[in-house]
Amino acid sequence: MSTLDTSSTGLAALLSPGTVRSTVLPVVRQQVSALEPTLARVCSYHLGFTDEHGDLSGAANGKLTRAALMTAAAQGVGLRPEDVRSQAAALELLHNSTLIHDDIIDADELRRGRPAAWKVFGASLAILAGDALQALSLQMVVDDPGPGRAEISCAFAEANRLVLAGQSREFTVRLGSGAGIAEYDRIVEEKTSALLQCALVTPALRAGSPEHVLAALRGAGRHLGLAFQIFNDVEDIWGDPAVTGKPVRGDIERRNPSLPVLAALSAGGPAGERLRGLWQAGGTTAAHLQEIADLTEEAGGRHTAEQRSRDHLDSALEHLGRAGLTPAASAELTALFDRIVNRTA
C-alpha cells in the first residue's frame, strides 16, 4: 500500500473539506447516475446534485462527515485517501439511504433546507430510492478488489443491520410506554454509532491492523456517536434552526424519547412529574411544546445531557489515543470529533 506525507502541512492539504469532496463526490455521482433512471433522479435530488426537475443544482451535498473520518483514519494507518475512496463513497451512500428513510418515518418535510425527497417525489419512490442507495453501497464494497474486501464487506453489512435494528427499536419505543437511558444508549449505538465505527474501522481492515487497533477505533466510534446524538437532542429542543436546518422540538412533537427528556423524567421532582403529565397528554401546540422544553430544562435534563455529551466525547478521544495512529492523523481526528459533536467551524 502507498503511504502519504504525515506532516501536519501534508495532512491539512490532503484532508481539507474541499479535498475530501473532490475525492469522494465524483465516485458518488458516477455510481448514482448508473441507477435505474427514476431512482437515479430521486437520489440525485436528495444528494443535492440536481433539482426536482433533474437540472444541475448548487444545493448542499451534506458534510461528508463519515468520508472525512474514513480518510483521516486511513492516513493514520499509512494509507492514502484513494485507498479507501470507494468505501468512503459507499458509506456516504449508506448514510444517505438512512436519511431518506428517516425523513419518511418522521414525516420531516425539510432536508438541508429544501423539501425532502419524499415531499417532492412521494413516499413510495423515496422508499425505493433509499433501498437503492443501500444496495448500491453494499455492492460497491463487495466489488472493490483491494485488501480486506471480505472483512470490509462484513463491516458494512453489520453496520447496515445495526442501523435497521436501531431504527426499528426507536420506533417501537416511541409507540410504547417510554424508555430508560440504557435503552436510549442501545438505540444510538445501533442507529448512529454503527456508521461512525464503520468509517473508522474500514481503513484499519484494509491495512490489516491488529485487533487492539480495531477495538480502539470501534470504541472511539461508539462514544462519538453517543456524544453527537445527545448534543443533537439538545439542539432539537433549544437549537437554532438556521444551524440545524430543521424546526425545533420535532422530537418532542413526535414524543421521541430524547436524552434531555429521559434525564429530566429520571430526575423526578415537581418539574419532572409535571413534565411526565404533559408528555403523556400528547399535546402538540407551540405552547405545549414550549412548556415541555421549559420543564425539561428546569428538571435538569439539559444540563445532564450536555454533560453526558462531553463525557462521551472525552471517552471517544481516549479510545482514539489507544489506536496508535500517526500523530498528524490523531490531531486531525481530534478536531473532526469536536466539529462533529459541537458543530464548530
pLDDT of 9: 34
pLDDT in the model for residue 178: 56
pLDDT band at 16 (very low <50, low <70, confident <90, very high): low
Per the listing, cell 433549544 goes with 238
pLDDT confidence of residue 15? 52
Q: Bridge-partner residues for 114, per DSSP?
A: 111
Angstrom distance (rounded) from CA 243 to CA 235: 9
Where is average pLDDT lowest: 163-167, 242-246, 271-275, 296-300? 242-246
3-state secondary structure of 324: coil
Q: What is the mean pLDDT of residues 230-248?
A: 85
Strand (E) or helix (H) holding 115: strand 114-115
pLDDT band at 241 (very low <50, low <70, confident <90, very high): confident
pLDDT of 216 over the 70 cut: yes
Confidence of residue 12 (pLDDT cuts 50, 70, 90): very low
The pLDDT value recorded for residue 285 is: 92
Does position 40 have pLDDT exceeding 90, yes or no?
Answer: yes
As a whole number of angstroms, the distance between CA 153 and CA 155 comes to 5
Query: How many degrees, rounded to 5, is the angle at CA 274 between CA 272 and CA 279?
Result: 90
Highest mean pLDDT among 58-72, 134-148, 249-263, 331-345: 134-148
According to the model, what pLDDT value does residue 8 have? 34
Q: 19-28, 153-162, 244-253, 257-266: lowest mean pLDDT where?
A: 244-253
Mean pLDDT of all residues belonging to the chain: 91
Give residue-wise pLDDT tens across range 299-343: 999 999 999 999 999 999 999 999 999 999 999 999 999 999 998
pTM higher than 0.75, yes or no? yes
The predicted structure's pLDDT at residue 192: 96
Tell me what the mean pLDDT of segment 83-109 comes to: 96
Structure confidence at residue 240 (pLDDT):
84
Residue 245 CB contacts under 8 Å (≥ 6 apart), including other chains: 110, 111, 112, 113
Q: Is the pLDDT of residue 175 over 60?
A: no
Asked if residues 223 and 237 have their Cβ atoms less than 8 Å apart, the reply is: no
Residue range 127-146: mean pLDDT, rounded: 97
Residue 39 amino acid letter: L
Nearest to 244 by CA among 257, 255, 233: 233
Average pLDDT value for residue range 100-128: 95
C-alpha cell at 111: 432536508
Q: H helices within the chain, ranges in order?
A: 8-14, 17-33, 37-46, 65-76, 85-106, 117-121, 123-143, 149-175, 181-188, 194-207, 211-238, 241-244, 250-254, 259-267, 269-281, 286-298, 301-322, 327-342
> In this model, does residue 32 exceed pLDDT 50?
yes
Per-residue pLDDT tens over the stretch 249-258: 988 998 888 9
- Cell numbers given for 207: 491495512
Cell numbers for 117, please give them. Answer: 425527497
Predicted pLDDT of residue 201: 98
Nearest Cα to 225, choosing from 101, 78, 66, 104?
66
Is 50 exceeded by the pLDDT of residue 276?
yes
pLDDT band, very low/low/confident/very high, at 7 (cuts 50, 70, 90): very low
Name the residue among 55, 32, 26 with its Cα closest to residue 132. 32
Amino acid 19: pLDDT:
80
Residue of higher predicted confidence among 241 and 161: 161
* Alpha carbon 300 to its chain's center: 26
Domains of the chain, earliest start first: 8-342 (1.10.600.10)
Q: Quick one: pLDDT at residue 58?
A: 82
DSSP 181-225: HHHHHHHHIIIIIHHHHHHHHHHHHHHT--HHHHHHHHHHHHHHH
